[in-house]
Amino acid sequence: MPRTLITGGAGFIGSHLCEHFLAKGHDVVCVDNLLTGAEENVAHLEKNPKFTFLKKDVTNYLAIDGPVDNILHFASPASPADFERLPIQILKVGSMGTHNALGLAKAKGARFLLASTSEVYGDPEVNPQPESYLGRVNPIGIRGVYDEAKRFAEAMTMAYHRVHSLETRIVRIFNTYGERMRLDDGRALPNFITQALQNEPITVYGDGSQTRSFGHVLDLVDGIDRLLLSRVWEPVNIGNPDEVTLLEVAKEVVFLTGSRSELVFQPLPPGDPKVRRPDISRARDLLGWSPRIPRLEGIKRTIADFEKRLDAKDKGAA
């Protein structure tokens, strides 16, 4: 059975990947320094003898015993709230962390999959965004630390592919949500759901007319699995093209939670992209992938998970 190493494995998406590849029978090595992740996210996997958790910072030289067949490089803070809080860590993990993970893949002869992002498109002039769109990123803006780190990571991945003939994959992930997102993560859905469940004001930034396209994490995991098994080295967008304004999403969360919360409008963060929607033709044509979980169903599942965790937190505090 393959041995699959997942950097950022104790994070939101990473923990679902650990679960998925263990369920497929892989040996899974989760490498995480717990900067924005939590060991609780993988605690339910720790009794499985095929699972190993290693607390390590991937910006340092990465030594791993034994063979490794796949490396999925997911380590990186990802919430805009972290872009101001952790700018240097983000730049380091996207650059030095990616270099170390690629070096390990080369040493082990492993296949390498990079978690890139729709942020490489910046504040786009075309909507939806195909992979051929080269983007509009402000390198010195607040979001630049993340966008440029991921653009560098893509360039470094392609250099290893071209120079060392490494088997590489690049997934450009659009807004993904779901169970196990941090309660105080700062991104739109965790904020809205936490606020609604506590009957607190729902913070809509700007006038809420900006759009995003939210995909459920299990659809993403399916896309990543297909990409890893494919021979596609070009970047592939994975996301749900069902585009929606933030105002609509805020109202959906209030409706689905039955909350008494009111919407409050706060300033739009600088550089906040006005629109975002994936063109998923490439994923459809080359991977046979398309999303299956409708937004309202995915949000309902996420609400149930947040409710459970908020209850547990309240009980812990009592």
Asked if omega into 128 is within 30° of 0 (cis), the reply is yes
Q: Which stretch binds ligand UDP (CB under 6 A): 22-30, 201-209, 236-244, 308-316?
A: 201-209
Integer Cα distance of 275 and 265 in angstroms? 18
Q: Which of 61, 133, 146, 177 is catalytic?
A: 146
Read off the tokens for 127. 């909507």
Q: Which of 26, 27, 51, 59 binds ligand NAD (CB under 6 A)?
A: 59
Q: For residue 157, give the nearest of 148, 166, 149 by alpha carbon.
A: 166
How many residues bind to ligand NAD according to rule CB under 6 A?
28
Tell whether residue 295 is a contact of ligand UDP (CB under 6 A).
no
- Between the two ends of the chain, the Cα-to-Cα distance in Å is 46
- State yes or no: residue 246 binds ligand UDP (CB under 6 A): yes
Q: Does 43 bind ligand NAD (CB under 6 A)?
A: no
Q: Which is nearer to ligand UDP, 95 or 203 (CB)?
A: 203
145 binds ligand NAD (CB under 6 A): no
Question: Binding string to ligand NAD for residues 176 to 195, with x set by CB under 6 A, is what?
Answer: x-------------------
Binding partner at 176 among ligand UDP, ligand NAD, none, C-beta below 5 to 8 Å by kind: ligand NAD
272 touches ligand UDP by CB under 6 A: yes
- Segment lying near ligand NAD (by CB under 6 A), choices 54-62, 271-279, 287-295, 303-311: 54-62
The helix-helix angle for 295-317 and 188-197 (nearest 10°) equals 60
Secondary structure element (H or E) that encloses residue 153, with its range: helix 144-164
Question: Does residue 91 touch ligand NAD according to CB under 6 A?
Answer: no
Q: Is 188 one of the binding residues for ligand UDP (CB under 6 A)?
A: yes
Identify which of residues 152 and 205 has a Cβ nearer to ligand UDP in the complex.
Answer: 205
Under the criterion CB under 6 A, does residue 212 sit at the interface with ligand UDP?
yes
Give the residue among 97, 105, 117, 20 at the shortest CA–CA distance from 71.
105
Q: Does 248 bind ligand UDP (CB under 6 A)?
A: no
Tell the burial category of 312 from Cβ atoms under 10 Å away from its Cβ (0-12, 13-18, 19+): exposed
DSSP one-letter code for 94: I
213 near ligand UDP (CB under 6 A): no
How many C-beta neighbours within 10 Å does residue 162 have?
11
Please, which residue, 166 or 171, has the CB nearer to ligand NAD? 171
Question: Which of 175, 194, 237, 302 forms a contact with ligand UDP (CB under 6 A)?
Answer: 175
Select the residue interacting with ligand NAD from 6, 22, 75, 193 (CB under 6 A). 75
**How many angstroms separate the CA atoms of 230 and 169, rounded?**
9
SS3 39: coil
- Measured between alpha carbons, how far is 249 from 192 in angstroms, rounded to an integer? 9
The reply to whether 146 belongs to the active site is yes
Question: Does 77 contact ligand NAD by CB under 6 A?
Answer: yes
Residue 314 has, within 13 A of its CA and on its CB side, a CA count of 9
DSSP for residue 167: -
Residue 186 dihedral angles phi and psi, to the nearest 5°:
95, -10
- Which residues belong to the active site? 146
Q: Tell me which residues touch ligand UDP (CB under 6 A).
A: 80, 175, 187-188, 191, 203-205, 210, 212, 246, 268-269, 272
